[in-house]
Amino acid sequence: MGDFWVFGYGSLIWRPGFAHVETRRARLHGYRRALCVYSHVHRGTPQRPGLVLGLDHGGSCIGLAFRVPGELRDEVVGYLRARELVTNVYLERVLKVHIDDGGPVEAVTYVVDRHHEQYAGALDAAEAARVVSGAVGQSGNNEDYVSNTLRHLEALGIRDHWLEDVGRRMAPA
């Protein structure tokens, strides 16, 4: 099997955690980045959920595409499944992304399952900031997750106005 691509839109941008040989800015059409998943493990608990990013239907999302050598497919997909499918709120999909200075490529990505109990739906920025503020899970506090994502998006020149609004509204850490 040949090389394959993985599309990252949130924490995969700043902590991919798997070997790759190329990173390219990419756009996925038909989905948008949203804090639409109640986190019961990584950034919250069942008693005090946080929010993490998911790809929800509508719009488009700019993120990063990582090219992975084909011989690492089983290892990397296994790692991604262990990381992303902890509570099965995401659906693994292979979708077409458009890489900058290149054409479309098929990429493994994880989209939110709108029928899952952890799906938060479309929250306004004030409500999302309220849920994020003070939530803590196995991977740390929820504010850090949002702030890290915003810093890395800014460094890449990627604007996400809604997420930036959430960041401005979060309670000071």
Does 25 reside within a domain? yes
Domain count, the chain: 1
- Cα–Cα dist 53/143, whole Å: 12
- Coil vs helix vs strand at 10: coil
Does 87 reside within a domain? yes
Task: Say if residue 52's pLDDT is above 70.
Answer: yes
Does 120 reside within a domain? yes
Q: Percent of the chain at pLDDT above 70?
A: 98
- Cα–Cα dist 96/68, whole Å: 16
Residue pair 65/99 in contact (Cβ under 8 Å)? The answer is yes
Q: What is the pLDDT of residue 171?
A: 65
pLDDT bracket for residue 127 (50, 70, 90): very high
Does 28 reside within a domain? yes
Does 79 reside within a domain? yes
Q: Dihedral, CA atoms, 118, 4, 151, 137, nearest 10 degrees?
A: 30
pTM to 2 decimal places = 0.92
Does 170 reside within a domain? no
Record the tokens describing residue 57, joined without a space: 């239907």
Does 172 reside within a domain? no
Q: Which CATH number is 26's domain given?
A: 3.10.490.10
Q: What is the pLDDT of residue 82?
A: 94
Higher pLDDT, 63 or 1: 63
Does 57 reside within a domain? yes
Q: What is the pLDDT of residue 86?
A: 85
Full residue range of the structural domain in which residue 15 is found? 4-165
Task: Say if residue 172's pLDDT is above 80.
Answer: no
Q: What is the mean pLDDT of residues 130-157?
A: 95
